[in-house]
A and B are shown apart, each in its own frame.
Chain A
């Protein structure tokens, strides 16, 4: 029996009075990797923000459950602490705050929220170095301010590092492949694959099927006009690659 990790049911959400999600349903069970594909402006990033609880994204209907618990009233940090992680399409710069400091603050705030002891400096440093190495993240990069002056690839690797250190059970990756060359893509994908496990779930948002050659999904969904309009297995991604999103969008308006 598969155990549901993330259950989204008939979700409606709007931004600044503009309806974006219009009845979206999706269930990710433990151990599954789902890919969401769709044209630009379909609402993919909006979905990721709504799942993570960003302010300004108003839920007007439906529900989001995490391990059976309704989370729509929880704030972003509470959702993070119970194991929800979002890798950003455009990671944010925080000038003056060292990457390691940021990471340690995040790890310890989450531990505090869960009633666990904070990690001491040495324990944290060891864990961080171990996680950083396979991602080709140097000590020098860990000292630099969060995402400031990072290349596109460095930013995405930094997202995967944070994901590794925070050990979430449900990861949403928003276009983690965008702006990456093939080598960087491989490093990032290896990092993600290393985190896959029987009790973890992934929602991989991407515009191109290329990423899915490296992070092979169990299910592929097409998001268009705020809804899942088609679901299938990996072959759906390949099919989309050939036909593009035009057919789907035409199918909608027809």
Chain B
């Protein structure tokens, strides 16, 4: 029974083990609590937005008022009081926008340093030994972007990488053309809310024929209490271009639930490719399910052009609740959509995640690899839709959903929806559910690998196909995260 007691202690300690659970001591300006039209105006005014943007937000807000929260996902939470939160929090030092990173409040910069996110261009992300590559970072702190690195070098290649707030000022035509073009304002309750109150996020434009010279990344940090974060990201890859983008997310440990409702839109024109990777490590709440982020996210990519490709890779280890379905609309003929996912839930975490692959064009192909790991008393669902439209002749999908259960009190569910309106389209689906066997653990331990390390090793093996999709720098980080997320799950 010693082992059982030990496990209980470890599980109890897990909340404290969340590595990024500290808060920065930063004074912030808040919008008044709650949500109404004035708050929408407040946010827009804070960003000094043109009237078309304000009108767009107000339209979204009025539509949101008559919408209902989606209730089809297999997640449970107390009713969210949308009036009991702040919709905008900005560090006081950001009131006047710093001209460059040198002018940013050192305390803010320290936050990112502590998180291991380099905002000084001479520093590179700590990764594999002897392997150095530049990564440009947009750092979003609560409701504002603190700064973006390598802007100059990117500009030389013609790549625009800035905060969405800046893009609204500096590239209104691109924003007007594409914002809401993939995720319409009324797409769903959370996306509509985001459209009304989004605060910051990243904007990327890669011009025709350009291969973006470095990885782009955005690091989202929620710091303020009781504050929602509504990120908005828009990435456009023009004809024949390529970009690889990564987002990371963390938040302090707080007893209340905080809302993160993001919208990400990707557009790939003819022969363009976008690779979008996420390492989501929002605070998951404590062992009893107290606190943690509600991560309600709408992510969708449009393969608008022929031979275009959009690839989503996600490592979802954090959040109390994850509700997220990065999807691809495969409109261009021969376009390709991919979804590689690792979702880990422990303790009381809940995740309902998956993808939608909408095959509209001819010979479109999609590939879905989902690896779900449940431990503790957590529950997770893979929910995926593959839809073959009448014009999608020769379209093909391959789906593989593997679930790994650790312990006897967790749950895993697979809900695949298939719609085929083209007899010529092929859909293939495979699903497995397994557990970490006592044999495997004993084998590892006999070789000298302690139990927790053995679980990490086995789970990393289970996820290998997906981890391989991540840019190398982040694969190393993600592997460590797998171990940390599962701490206390065996004994």
Contacts and interface: CB of A to CB of B under 8 A. Distances in A.
A109 B449 contact: yes
A75 interface: yes
B442 A55 contact: yes
A152 interface: no
Interface in B434-451: 437-440, 442-451
A224 interface: no
A81 B448 contact: yes
B475 to A, nearest CB: 13
A77 B129 contact: no
Interface residues of A, number: 33
A97 B463 CA distance: 10
Given A109-B449, A166-B447, A96 B442 contact: no
Given A109-B448, A109-B453, A110-B448, A92 B458 contact: no
Contacts of B458: 94, 97
A47 to B, nearest CB: 14
A52 B438 CA distance: 14
A86 B465 CA distance: 31
Nearest to A91: B443
Contacts, number: 80
A109 B450 contact: yes
B209 interface: no
Given A56-B438, A92-B439, A92-B440, A80 B461 contact: no
Interface in A136-155: 145
Nearest to A56: B438
A96 B463 contact: yes
How many chain B residues sit at the interface, stated as a range, is 20 to 34
B26 to A, nearest CB: 39
Interface in B409-459: 437-440, 442-451, 453, 457-458
A145 B461 contact: yes
B134 interface: no
Among A54, A56, A77, A110, residue most surrounded by chain B Cβ atoms (within 10 Å) = A77
A106 interface: yes
A76 B457 contact: no
A252 interface: no
B445 A80 contact: yes
Contacts of B442: 49, 52, 54-55, 76, 92
B440 A80 contact: no
Contacts of A85: 446
A105 to B, nearest CB: 6
Contact of B443 (A56, A92, A121): A92
A206 interface: no
B460 interface: yes
A29 interface: no
Contacts of B444: 94, 102, 106
Given A76-B442, A76-B445, A109-B447, 9 more contacts: A56-B438, A77-B448, A80-B448, A85-B446, A92-B440, A94-B440, A102-B457, A107-B448, A121-B129
24 contacts: A52-B442, A54-B446, A56-B438, A76-B442, A77-B449, A77-B451, A80-B445, A86-B446, A88-B446, A92-B440, A92-B442, A94-B440, A94-B444, A94-B458, A95-B461, A95-B462, A96-B462, A96-B463, A96-B465, A97-B464, A101-B457, A106-B444, A106-B448, A109-B447
Interface of A: 49, 52, 54-56, 75-77, 79-81, 85-86, 88, 91-97, 101-102, 105-107, 109-110, 113, 121, 145, 162, 166
